[in-house]
């Protein structure tokens, strides 16, 4: 299989560890191992005594039990743990798809959600989020994208990079559609539990039935990207077994310290999510102010969930803007071109504590740069 460079990851590889302000991160503020262990009495001592042999390939039973608690009807045996969400995406596609299958993918999207399928030889149709509709997906468009060879629909809700969240009736309808047409629904839910209004939280797709697979991870809502622990939840036994068997060719099993720490994190996930949501909401007020001061420079659809938004630069070229900004003042934004967006959007991250300082630096730049206000 041939895979092209992952544009977003290559962009971050260039800047992530040498730039002062990452104003486009998708993950929330992280914490130290000590801070995480302090959430639970006795956890630090148990961590010190934790065994460093190979771990169970499916994920430790106790971790799978904690992960299953996120869902309404998912059992621990329906959960398969991976080394990050990206490994899960890769192995789902390897297990579920074959050459000439057709898939429909929520667009714009995190690149691996279509690229692995393309590498397998699948046909890929983008199901476009429309900015003029608040980045909504239109179910009528989905119906038109269907082909006789369609095998799966891939969605990402809450959405990277727009922060869009589908309505409950539409998500019900999407699940019904997949079931009626015998399609798999792969639902990337790595930003779930970061809805600004809890009433907007969608049920997990895996709880709807065997057609669906839900993807989760510790990286985003919970702010623990360095653990590299992700998971798939599905009631589809056949698919589950295929993915479990393929995992022998990637990581075999997950890191023992990471599984221990992820289990602690999942037991305290509500607290972790609340802490990060507080940071996001504080930051949202800062960026709302920023955009209200510069209406002729940017347009902005406020996200409904998650740790990012996708504003538009109204003048000039967004790639040159991001490039000049990071070189001159050390503030990193992510040009939409890494998502193949051709309309001058950029990704703005909302989950980091230093966002107010980064925005102040951005405004100093705007005041001096030759950008027409």
- Give the range of 50-58, 217-225, 245-253, 256-264 binding ligand PLP by CB under 6 A: 217-225
Q: Please give the structure tokens belonging to residue 55.
A: 């771990």
Tell the smallest beta-carbon distance from residue 213 to ligand PLP (Å): 13
- Beta carbon nearer to ligand PLP, 215 or 239: 215
- Give the range of 82-90, 120-128, 316-324, 355-363 binding ligand PLP by CB under 6 A: 82-90
d(CA 161, CA 308): 6
- Beta carbon nearer to ligand PLP, 142 or 224: 224
* 163 touches ligand PLP (CB under 6 A): no
125, 160, 214, 276: which one binds ligand PLP (CB under 6 A): 160
**For helices 61-68 and 256-267, what crossing angle results, to 10°?**
30
Residue 55 falls in which region: left (phi positive, over 0), alpha (psi -120 to 50) or beta: beta
- Beta carbon nearer to ligand PLP, 85 or 233: 85
Tell the smallest beta-carbon distance from residue 16 to ligand PLP (Å): 12
- Give the range of 62-70, 79-87, 125-133, 293-301 binding ligand PLP by CB under 6 A: 79-87
Torsion of Cα atoms, 278 then 158 then 4 then 352, to 10°: -10
Distance of CA 198 to the CA centre of its chain: 18
| Three-state DSSP state, 154 | strand
| Three-state DSSP state, 21 | strand
What are the phi and psi torsion angles at 313 (to 5°)?
-85, 120
* 310 touches ligand PLP (CB under 6 A): no
Q: Which residues contact 310 (CB under 8 A, 6 or more apart)?
A: 135, 161, 162, 163, 301, 336, 341, 345, 346, 347, 348
Tell the smallest beta-carbon distance from residue 301 to ligand PLP (Å): 18
Give residue number: closest CB to ligand PLP.
84
Tell the smallest beta-carbon distance from residue 228 to ligand PLP (Å): 7
The footprint of ligand PLP on residues 176-195 (CB under 6 A) is 188, 190
Tell the smallest beta-carbon distance from residue 23 to ligand PLP (Å): 15
The footprint of ligand PLP on residues 99-138 (CB under 6 A) is 110
- Beta carbon nearer to ligand PLP, 110 or 135: 110
Q: Which residues contact 15 (CB under 8 A, 6 or more apart)?
A: 22, 326, 332
* 86 touches ligand PLP (CB under 6 A): yes
- Give CA angle at 274 (271, 278), nearest 5°: 145
26, 125, 187, 254: which one binds ligand PLP (CB under 6 A): 26
Give the residues across from 153 on adjacent strands.
104, 185
Binding site for ligand PLP (CB under 6 A): 26, 84-86, 110, 156, 160, 188, 190, 217, 219, 225, 230
């Amino acid at each position: 299989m041939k895979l092209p460079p992952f544009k977003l990851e290559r962009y971050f590889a260039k800047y992530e560890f040498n730039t002062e302000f990452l104003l486009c991160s998708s993950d929330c503020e992280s914490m130290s191992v000590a801070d995480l262990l302090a959430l639970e009495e006795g956890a630090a001592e148990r961590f010190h005594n934790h065994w460093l042999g190979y771990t169970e390939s499916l994920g430790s039973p106790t971790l799978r039990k904690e992960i299953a608690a996120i869902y309404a009807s998912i059992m621990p045996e329906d959960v398969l743990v991976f080394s990050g969400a990206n490994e899960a995406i890769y192995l789902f596609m390897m297990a579920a798809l074959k050459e000439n299958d057709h898939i429909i993918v929520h667009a714009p999207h995190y690149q691996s959600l279509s690229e692995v399928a393309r590498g397998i030889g699948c046909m890929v149709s983008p199901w476009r989020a429309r900015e003029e509709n608040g980045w909504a997906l239109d179910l009528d468009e989905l119906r038109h994208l269907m082909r006789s060879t369609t095998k799966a629909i891939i969605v990402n809700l809450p959405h990277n990079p727009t922060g869009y969240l589908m309505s409950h009736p539409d998500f019900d309808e999407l699940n019904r559609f997949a079931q009626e047409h015998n399609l798999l629904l792969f639902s990337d839910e790595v930003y779930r539990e970061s809805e600004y209004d809890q009433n907007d939280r969608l049920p997990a797709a895996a709880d709807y039935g065997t057609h669906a697979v839900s993807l989760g991870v510790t990286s985003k809502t919970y702010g623990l990207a360095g653990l590299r622990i992700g998971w798939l939840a599905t009631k589809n036994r056949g698919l589950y077994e295929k993915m479990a068997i393929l995992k022998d060719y990637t990581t075999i099993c997950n890191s023992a310290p990471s599984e221990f720490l992820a289990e602690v994190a999942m037991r305290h996930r509500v607290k972790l999510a609340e802490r990060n949501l507080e940071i996001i909401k504080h930051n949202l007020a800062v960026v709302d102010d920023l955009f209200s001061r510069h209406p002729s420079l940017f347009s902005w659809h406020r996200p409904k969930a998650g740790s990012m938004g996708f504003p538009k630069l109204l003048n000039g070229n967004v790639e040159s803007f991001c490039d000049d900004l990071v070189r001159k003042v050390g503030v990193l934004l992510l040009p939409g071109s890494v998502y193949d967006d051709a309309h001058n959007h950029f990704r703005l991250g909302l989950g980091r504590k230093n966002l107010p300082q980064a925005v102040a630096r951005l405004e100093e730049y705007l005041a001096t740069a030759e950008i027409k206000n």
